[in-house]
Amino acid sequence: MAGFFNRLKESLTRTRQNLVQKVEELVTGRTRIDDELYDELEEVLISADVGAETALELVERLRQRVKAEKIGDPAGLKDLLQQEIAKVLGERTATVNLEHQPAVVLVVGVNGVGKTTTIAKLAHRCREEGRQVLLVAGDTFRAAAIDQLEVWGRRIGVEVIRHQAGADPAAVAFDALQAAKGRGVDVVIMDTAGRLHNKTNLMEELKKVNRVLNRAMPGAPHETLLVLDATTGQNAINQARIFDEAIGITGLVLTKLDGTAKGGVVVAIRAELAIPVKFVGVGEGLDDLRDFDPAEFARALFAGDGEEEEG
Amino acid sequence: MAMFEGLADKLQDTLKKLRGKGKIDEADVTAAMREVRLALLAADVNLKVVKDFVGRVKERAVGQEVLASLTPGQQVVKVVYDELVALMGGDTARINLASRPPTVIMLVGLQGAGKTTTAAKLGLFLRKQGRRPLLVACDVYRPAAIKQLEVLGEQLDLPVFNLGTEVSPVDIAVKAIAEADSQGRDVVVLDTAGRLHINEELMDELRAIKVRVKPQEILLVVDAMTGQDAVNVAAAFNRDLEINGVVLTKLDGDARGGAALSIKAVTGCPIKLAGVGEKADALEPFHPDRMASRILGMGDVLTLIEKAQAAVDADTIREMEMKIRKADFNLEDFLAQMQQMKKMGPMDQLLGMLPGMNKMKALKDVEIDEKEMKHIEAIILSMTPEERRNPQVLKDSRKRRIAKGSGTSVQKVNQLIKNFEQTRKLMKQFADFRGPKGPGKGGSKGKGKAKGGFRLPFFKV
Ligand SMILES: Nc1nc2c(ncn2[C@@H]2O[C@H](COP(=O)(O)OP(=O)(O)OP(=O)(O)O)[C@@H](O)[C@H]2O)c(=O)[nH]1
Ligand SMILES: [Mg+2]
Q: Which residues of A touch B253 (CB under 8 A)?
A: 110, 196-198, 235
> Average pLDDT in the A243-249 region?
98
Enumerate residues 6+ apart whose C-beta is below 8 A from A224: A105, A106, A108, A210, A247, A248, A249, A250, A251
The verdict on residue A309 lying in a domain is no
CATH of residue A254: 3.40.50.300
The verdict on residue A74 lying in a domain is yes
Alpha-carbon distance of B96 to B131, in angstroms, equals 13
pLDDT of residue B318: 59
Is residue A260 lining ligand 1, measured as CB closer than 6 Å? Answer: no
The verdict on residue A171 lying in a domain is yes
The verdict on residue A310 lying in a domain is no
Residues A14 and A158 in one domain: no
pLDDT value at B422 more than 80: no
Confidence class of residue B362 from pLDDT cuts 50, 70 and 90?
very low
Kindly report the CATH class assigned to B312-454.
mainly alpha
Which residues of chain B does CATH 3.40.50.300 include? 103-286
Residues A159 and A71 in one domain: no
pLDDT value at B197 more than 80: yes
Q: Which ligand is nearest to the CA of A230?
A: 1
- Out of A15, A52, A114, name the one closest to residue B232 (CB): A15
Distance from CA of A304 to the nearest CA of B (A): 22
Residues A186 and A262 in one domain: yes
> Average pLDDT in the A60-65 region?
94
pLDDT value at B199 more than 80: yes
pLDDT of residue B416: 85
CATH of residue A62: 1.20.120.140
Which residues of chain B does CATH 1.10.260.30 include? 312-454
Alpha carbon B350 to its chain's center = 14
- Out of A143, A165, A233, name the one closest to residue B44 (CB): A233
Confidence class of residue B76 from pLDDT cuts 50, 70 and 90?
confident
Q: What is the ipTM of this complex?
A: 0.88
Residues A127 and A257 in one domain: yes
Residues A262 and A139 in one domain: yes
- How many other CB atoms sit within 10 Å of the CB of residue B395? 8
Among A52-61, B72-81, B113-122, the minimum mean pLDDT is found in B72-81
Q: Which residues of A touch B247 (CB under 8 A)?
A: none
Contact A241, B259 (CB under 8 A): no
Is residue B112 lining ligand 1, measured as CB closer than 6 Å? Answer: yes
pLDDT of residue B310: 54
pLDDT of residue A216: 96
Phi-psi group of B114: left, alpha or beta (phi > 0 → left; psi -120 to 50 → alpha; rest → beta):
left
Inter-chain residue contact B111 with A256, CB threshold 8 Å: yes
Helix A235-247 with A265-273: angle, nearest 10 deg: 40
What percent of chain B lies above the pLDDT cut of 70?
69
Is residue A159 lining ligand 1, measured as CB closer than 6 Å? Answer: no
Report CA(A141)–ligand 2 centroid distance (Å).
10
Residue type, B429: Q
Alpha-carbon distance of B321 to B324, in angstroms, equals 5
H helical segments located in B184-330: 200-213, 230-241, 259-267, 288-296, 301-311, 314-325
Domain that holds residue A42: 2-92+300-304
The verdict on residue A284 lying in a domain is yes
Q: Which residues of A touch B234 (CB under 8 A)?
A: none
Exposed e or buried b per residue across B340-367, where buried means at least 16 C-beta atoms within 10 angstroms of its C-beta: bbeebbebbebbbbebebeeeeebeebe
Residues A75 and A155 in one domain: no
- How many other CB atoms sit within 10 Å of the CB of residue A93? 16
User: Could you confirm whether domain B7-88 is CATH 3.30.460.10?
Assistant: no
Contact A75, A280 (CB under 8 A): no
The verdict on residue A311 lying in a domain is no
Confidence class of residue B308 from pLDDT cuts 50, 70 and 90?
low
If one counts the domains in chain A, the total is: 2
- Top pLDDT among B77 and A135 is at A135
Q: Which ligand is nearest to the CA of B278?
A: 1
Is residue A113 lining ligand 1, measured as CB closer than 6 Å? Answer: yes
One of 3.50.50.60, 3.40.50.300, 3.10.20.30, 3.30.160.40 is the CATH number of B103-286, namely 3.40.50.300
Distance from CA of A143 to the nearest CA of B (A): 5
What percent of chain B lies above the pLDDT cut of 90?
45
Residues A113 and A150 in one domain: yes
- Out of A46, A237, A265, name the one closest to residue B47 (CB): A46
pLDDT value at B452 more than 50: no
Mean pLDDT of chain B: 79
Residues A39 and A119 in one domain: no
> Average pLDDT in the B164-187 region?
97
Strands B217-223 and B245-249: parallel
Inter-chain residue contact A237 with B223, CB threshold 8 Å: no
pLDDT value at A55 more than 80: yes
Rg over alpha carbons for chain A, rounded to the nearest Å, is 21
- Top pLDDT among B294 and B243 is at B243
Model confidence over A115-160: pLDDT tens digits? 999 999 999 999 999 999 999 999 999 999 999 999 999 999 999 9
Residues A242 and A283 in one domain: yes
Residue of the CA atom closest to atom 17 of ligand 1: A114
> Average pLDDT in the B36-43 region?
90
pLDDT of residue A305: 29
Predicted TM-score (pTM) of the model is 0.78
Alpha carbon B88 to its chain's center = 13
Enumerate residues 6+ apart whose C-beta is below 8 A from B134: B102, B158, B159, B160, B161, B176, B179, B180, B183, B185, B187, B188, B189
- Top pLDDT among B443 and A248 is at A248
Instruction: Name the nearest CA neighbour of A242 among A205, A281, A197, A183.
Output: A197
Residues A145 and A207 in one domain: yes
Inter-chain residue contact B1 with A53, CB threshold 8 Å: yes
The verdict on residue A98 lying in a domain is no
Inter-chain residue contact A232 with B141, CB threshold 8 Å: no
Inter-chain residue contact A46 with B255, CB threshold 8 Å: no
- Top pLDDT among A29 and A294 is at A294
